[in-house]
Structures are given as structure tokens and as C-alpha cells.
Amino acid sequence: MNEEQTTRITLRLPQALHAQLAEEADEASRSLNGEIVSRLASTLTGAALAIPDSIRDEITARAQAASTTFELELIRAIVAGLSPGAPAVLVVEHRDNVPLRAAGALIDAALKQLPPDAVLRLTKLKK
């Protein structure tokens, strides 16, 4: 990090948290500062969450379009999904080398398990 692109702050941490962060930083071969910066950045981008890339990309795009944060857009999506009457969504991720016809029977079977207003979304997996 270039010194001109950073801001210096004083941070007070409980000793137990400091020790845990220092241990994690050591395991990741980072400085304590690097560990803290990495963790803070990942919370703002959603990278700290174990969610599929396709969903993360969609939430990121929605956040950018709405000029809001990843976290707020994720909360909006969760609340909308929990609302009564929210449509079910079946997401099918595929690779270029897998013909969709081969997955057709599986998709049909899955759609039969979902409500009639369910949405099917095909997403190409990233390489």
C-alpha cells in the first residue's frame, strides 16, 4: 500500500481479539494491519460470506445499480425472499462443455417440485 493512499488511525482492541487476529495474520503470512484491512474489506464486498459466485455477482450488480452497499442489497434480497408470496427461484449453473439437453431432465424434475410461479435462471459458471 502506498503511504499517500492510506489513512493512519489508532485502534483499540480487546487483548483476546488482538491475539486471535495476530494468530490468523501469522497463518495467512500477513501483517496484523494486513489482516485487519483484508477482513474489513471482505465484509464490505461480501467476500467473507460463503455464497456462490453467481449470487455474489448478482448482489454486487444490484448494489452498484442502486448506488448502495453489498450488505444492504443482500439484506434487501433476503427480506424479499422471505416475504409471503415471494417466487421460488431455481438457479442452474452450467459449464460450456456440458450440453444443456443433458441437464434438461434434471431441470424438469426440479421444476415439478417448485410452485407454478417459480423462476428458472440459467447461469454460466466462471472458469
- 52 pLDDT band, cuts 50/70/90, is confident
Q: What is the pTM of this model?
A: 0.42
Residues 24 and 13: their CA atoms lie apart, in Å, by 15
Q: Could you read off the pLDDT of 77-95 as tens digits, one per residue?
A: 877 766 666 666 666 665 5
Q: Out of 56-60, 71-75, 105-109, 122-126, which region has the weakest mean confidence (pLDDT)?
A: 122-126
Closest CA to 25 of 34, 17, 14: 34
Structure confidence at residue 122 (pLDDT): 62
Position 43 confidence tier, pLDDT thresholds 50, 70, 90 = confident
- Which whole number is the average pLDDT over 13-33? 93
